[in-house]
Amino acid sequence: MTTPTDGTLWRNWSGLVEARPQQVLTPSSVSAVVDAVRRAREQGTTVKMTGTGHSFTAIAAPEHTLMRPEQLSGILEVDREAMTVTARAGTPLKELNLALERLGLSLHNMGDIAEQTLAGATSTGTHGTGGVAAGLAAQLAGLELVTGTGEVVRASARENADVFEVARVGLGALGVLTSVTFHVEPLFVIEAHEQPMGWDEAIDSYDEMTAASHHVDMYWFPHTDAMMVKQNVRTDLEVGEQEPPSRLAAWWEDELVSNTVFGALCRVGSRAPDLVPRINRIAGRALSERRYSDLAHRVFVTPRRVRFREMEYAVPREVGLDVLRECRRVIDASDWRIAFPVEIRTARPDDIPLSTASGRESFYLAFHVPMDTDHTAYFGGLEPVLREAGGRPHWGKVHTRTAADLAPVYPRFGDFLAMRDRLDPDRVFANAHLRQVLGD
C-alpha cells in the first residue's frame, strides 16, 4: 500500500465531480483492502474504491478514504474447460481485452470504450448493444469482495449464490470487489457496416436491423434527419482473415472526423449555438459509409477524446421507438442547441436486481453535451419523458432520481437494500450519491 496522501483532489473523467478525500490508499492485496475497511469501520468513517472515474455521477466520489485501483490489476486465472477468466478487479478493460486476445479468447460484448476498470464497469451496469449479453455484469461467472465488516466473500452461481446475484451490479455499495471472473468465448471476428441513414428509414427499419444484426448502434444528430447506423455481425471468419480499415482510413474516421473535427465543431457550437443545426448537418454528412471486419473488441471500442457529460436511460424495448420520437418532439419544440448525437442501443433482459436491463428487453437512449456545457435544461427537459416510460437511469450517468422513485422501476430493489444491510451494516461504503439513490 502506498503512503497515504492528504488533501489530494479527485476529479472524475467529465470534470463534473470533485472530491478531497482525507487520505488516498493504493492497496496491492486483498488483505490491504480488508485492513482499510476494518480501520474505517472502527473509526466510523467511509472508504470508496474508485475505478478510472468514468462515471458522470458522484457514485465514485470518496468522502474519507479514497482507494485507487492501480495495484489491483492483472489476470489471475484462465480456465479453458469452464471458459472463464479471472482478473483482479482494478484491471482496465482494455488490458483484459489485450490479454484475452493473446490467449485467443474474448468477452461476448462490451460498451464503446475500454478505459474503465472491470469492477467499475460491472458495478454500474455498463453495457453495449445487442448480443448474447449486452451488460458486462451479465457476463460474470464469479466475484470476490471484501464486505463492510472486512469479511472476504467469494460468490458465484454455486457459492454464496444470493450474494452473486445481487453484487454483480453492486454500485460500490456492497463491498470492495477484489477479483471478477468472466465467461469468455474463443476470439471472434465481427463484420462492421456503418452507414448514414435518414430518420424515417432508420426508425422504420430498426426492428428489422436488430433482428438481422447482432449489434446495432444508432446515432441521431439533433435538429436534423441524419442518423448514423452501425450494424455489426459476428462472422465465421478465422482470426487472421479479418480486413480492418487501413491505418489511414481508421485515423481519418475515428481520429480526425469523429474526434478532432467533431471536437472543433462542438467548440464552435458552444460559442455560436445558432450554428448548431447547420453544424450537425455537416457532421452527419461527414461520416461516410464503410465496411470492415476486425476482432470483436476492436469493433466495439472507439476512441472518445472529446469530453462530455451524459445521461442515459433504459426504457422497455417495446416503447423505445415511441420514446425516441417523443424525445425528438421535445427537442424540436425547445430552444436548446444540441451538438452531440443521441445514441440508441438495445439489451436483452438479465436477472441482476439492479441492472438497467433487469427482467426486461431494453432500449437505451443516451444524451450528451460537451463537458463545459450546462446540461440541466436538456437532460432535465427529457428526464420526465424517460421517467414516464418506466425508464431506469444508467447508474454511472447523470440523472436526478432518488431511492423513493427508483424503487418502483426495480421489482427487486428491496432485495438489494436487504443485501446492503447484510454486507455493509455500518455503511462503510456510503457517500452522498448512494444516500440519494439507495437511502441511508
Ligand X SMILES: Cc1cc2nc3c(=O)[nH]c(=O)nc-3n(C[C@H](O)[C@H](O)[C@H](O)COP(=O)(O)OP(=O)(O)OC[C@H]3O[C@@H](n4cnc5c(N)ncnc54)[C@H](O)[C@@H]3O)c2cc1C
54 is a site residue for ligand X (CB under 6 A): yes
Q: Which of 21, 130, 142, 172 binds ligand X (CB under 6 A)?
A: 172
Q: How would DSSP label each residue in 365-378?
A: EEEEEETTS--HHH
Q: Least distance (Å) from ligand X to the CB of residue 115? A: 7
Q: Is 143 helix (H, G, I), strand (E, B) or coil?
A: strand
Q: Give the largest CA-CA distance in the chain.
A: 61
For ligand X, which stretch binds (CB under 6 A), given 45-53, 181-189, 254-262, 313-321?
45-53
**Residue 34 is placed in which grid cell?**
480488508
53 is a site residue for ligand X (CB under 6 A): yes
For ligand X, which stretch binds (CB under 6 A), given 118-126, 251-259, 264-272, 323-331?
118-126
176 is a site residue for ligand X (CB under 6 A): yes
- What is the crossing angle of helices 376-388 and 320-333, to 10°? 150
396 is a site residue for ligand X (CB under 6 A): yes
109 is a site residue for ligand X (CB under 6 A): no
The 262-301 site mask, x for binding ligand X (CB under 6 A), equals ----------------------------------------
Asked if residues 106 and 121 have their Cβ atoms less than 8 Å apart, the reply is no
CA distance readout (Å), 280 to 268, 285, 302, 341? 11, 8, 20, 8
Q: Least distance (Å) from ligand X to the CB of residue 249? A: 23
For ligand X, which stretch binds (CB under 6 A), given 168-176, 219-227, 325-333, 377-385?
168-176
Angle at 145 between CA 144 and CA 148, to 5 degrees: 160
Measured distance CA(376)–CA(403) in Å, rounded? 20
Q: Least distance (Å) from ligand X to the CB of residue 116? A: 3
362 is a site residue for ligand X (CB under 6 A): no
Q: Least distance (Å) from ligand X to the CB of residue 71? A: 12
49 is a site residue for ligand X (CB under 6 A): yes
The number of residues that bind ligand X (CB under 6 A) is: 33
**Residue 394 is placed in which grid cell?**
444508467
106 is a site residue for ligand X (CB under 6 A): no
For ligand X, which stretch binds (CB under 6 A), given 42-50, 267-275, 321-329, 383-391?
42-50
Q: Least distance (Å) from ligand X to the CB of residue 221? A: 19
437 is a site residue for ligand X (CB under 6 A): no
Q: Is 223 helix (H, G, I), strand (E, B) or coil?
A: coil
116 is a site residue for ligand X (CB under 6 A): yes
171 is a site residue for ligand X (CB under 6 A): yes
Q: Is 156 helix (H, G, I), strand (E, B) or coil?
A: strand
Q: Which of 17, 32, 40, 48 binds ligand X (CB under 6 A)?
A: 48
Asked if residues 409 and 400 have their Cβ atoms less than 8 Å apart, the reply is no
- By CB under 6 A, the residues from 294 to 323 that bind ligand X are 304
**Own/partner long-range contacts of 418-421 (Cβ < 8 Å, ≥24 apart):** 419/162, 419/163, 419/166, 419/167, 419/174, 420/173, 420/174
Measured distance CA(133)–CA(107) in Å, rounded? 10
Q: Least distance (Å) from ligand X to the CB of residue 220? A: 16
Tell how far CA 32 is from the center of its chain.
Answer: 28
Q: Least distance (Å) from ligand X to the CB of residue 224? A: 23
Residues 6+ apart with CB under 8 A from 212: 231, 233
DSSP β-bridge partners for residue 379: none
Q: Least distance (Å) from ligand X to the CB of residue 166? A: 13
Chain residues in the site for ligand X (CB under 6 A): 13, 48-55, 59-60, 69, 89-90, 111-113, 116-117, 119-121, 123-124, 126-127, 171-172, 176-177, 304, 394, 396
